[in-house]
Amino acid sequence: MAKPATIQIRLVSTADTGFFYITKKNPRNSTEKMQMRKYDPVIRKHVLFKEAKIK
């Protein structure tokens, strides 16, 4: 069987609240680390989330 094209990644909040989102990405198409502005419910604001590996 072939390996799946997408991998699961973790988007960790840069506000150091410990909150994170789980999402998928295709590393063949997007080789750089993913960054998104998303909502952090701990501080109730939109902040930058950066990609980290799932342990």
pTM of the predicted model as reported, rounded to 2 decimal places: 0.86
What does the domain layout of the chain look like in residue ranges? 7-52
Residue 25's DSSP bridge partners are 7
- Per-residue pLDDT of 1-55, as tens digits, reads 898 899 999 999 999 999 999 999 999 999 999 999 999 999 999 999 999 989 7
The token pair that represents 37 in the structure block: 């502005």
pLDDT at 44: 97
pLDDT at 1: 86
pLDDT at 3: 87
CATH class of domain segment(s) 7-52: mainly beta
Confirm if 51 and 34 have CB atoms less than 8 A apart.
yes
pLDDT at 33: 96
pLDDT at 41: 97
Q: Measure the CA angle with vertex 38, ends 36 and 41; round to 5°.
A: 150
